[in-house]
Structure 1
Amino acid sequence: MVAITTINETISFEIMGWHKIWSLQNKLSIPKEKIIKAYQDESEFTFWKGLRIPGTEIPRLITAGTFYKNGRNFWDVSNKKNASVITLRDHYFKKLIIEVENPEAVLQQINTP
């Protein structure tokens, strides 16, 4: 799971608990100007998430870490119902596919100018 906070014009995505180990990340800080949009889309959850470099994937249990499929994407999802997709421009990652506690609030927080 990921906790999101906004400080000035930067959004911080803090990976929580054991997910830090599975995803091999602690925190991602992204300037708001690099975020294109945030949305929910179950079509992102295909069987093949991409080439894992590095990360963890146990089908139907957890996908966490960096995966390469049409660009470099960061995943941290164990419950896809609470997952949000955040598309980025001019950043190391093309997309963040992350599980959050309240997806509706996160989408509003990120998509509000």
Structure 2
Amino acid sequence: MAVITVDRERALLTAEFQGLDKLWTLKSRLEIPLAHVRGATHDPGIAREPRGIRVAGTHMPGMITAGRFRRGGEHLFWDVRNPAKAVVIELADAATYDRLIIEVDDPRATVALIEQSIARDEV
């Protein structure tokens, strides 16, 4: 699971991975400029989509998908054990990922935080 925060002063979205998720994802955090964030949705059905080819990380079907994946020309970052808590963050002009699929404690609050932050950034 990850904790998503937004630093408005630095205009950054940060995903901080907790516990063993650091091991599964091979990352402790991701920092994405808010200007690259297009939006976020709560999408429990994302777990049924093909993940693509694992580049680095962990995939145990039905248990955990974590790390970097490539599907077609798309670069994805996954950290999901419980699909009911999955949030999909769409990125544009990102150097590393096109989408982040991340499990969070409160998907609705996380989506609201991201959507409000990018709306303020556009104003």
TM superposition score category, shorter chain reference: over 0.9
Q: Unaligned 5+ residue runs, structure 1? A: none
Instruction: Give the partner amino acid of 2:32.
Output: I
Whichever of the two has the greater Rg, that structure is 2
Q: Secondary structure at the match of 1:60?
A: coil
- State the secondary structure of the residue aligned to 1:72: strand
Match for residue 111 of structure 1?
115
Query: What SS does the corresponding residue of 2:3 show, helix, strand or coil?
Result: strand
Alignment correspondent of 2:4: 4
Shift of 1:82: 0.5
CA distance in 2, matches of 1:97, 1:44: 8
TM-score of the pair, normalised by structure 2: 0.87
Give percent identity, aligned residues only: 36
Looking at secondary structure, tell me which structure has more helix per residue.
2
With the length of structure 1 as denominator, give the TM-score of the two structures: 0.94
Aligned residues: 113
Q: Which runs of 5+ in 2 are unaligned?
A: none
Q: CA separation in 1, counterparts of 2:50 and 2:111? A: 25
RMSD: 1.2
Counterpart CA distance in 1 for 2:53 and 2:39 is: 24
User: What is the identity, as a one-letter code, of the residue corresponding to 2:93?
Assistant: D
